[in-house]
Amino acid sequence: MVKSRKTAPAKEQEIIAAAASLFKKKGYRATTLEDIAAAVGMLKGSLYYYIRSKEELLYLVVRDPIRQAYNKLEEIVNSDAPVTAKITQAIANHVVVFHQHYPHIAVYLHDFHNVMQKLQDNSIETPKEYRQLLAQLLQRGVDSGELRSDLDVTVASYAILGMCNWMYRWYKPEGHMSAEAIADVFTKLVLEGLQQST
Binding site for its own copies (CB under 8 A): 27, 29-30, 84, 87, 110, 138, 141, 145-149, 151-152, 155-156, 158-167, 169-170, 177, 182, 185-186, 188-196
- Tell me if residue 78 falls in helix, strand or coil: coil
Q: How far is the CB of 183 from its own copies (least distance, A)?
A: 10
* Closer residue to its own copies (CB): 42 or 137: 137
Q: How far is the CB of 5 from its own copies (least distance, A)?
A: 32
Distance CA 184, CA 175 (A): 16
Distance CA 124, CA 118 (A): 8
Q: How far is the CB of 147 from its own copies (least distance, A)?
A: 5
* Closer residue to its own copies (CB): 7 or 198: 198
* Closer residue to its own copies (CB): 58 or 147: 147
Q: How far is the CB of 96 from its own copies (least distance, A)?
A: 15
CB 58 within 8 A of CB 19: yes
Distance CA 183, CA 164 (A): 8
Q: Cα angle at 73 between 69 and 78, to 5 degrees? A: 155
* Closer residue to its own copies (CB): 75 or 192: 192
Which residues fall within 8 angstroms of residue 106, CB to CB, at 6 or more apart?
24, 98, 168
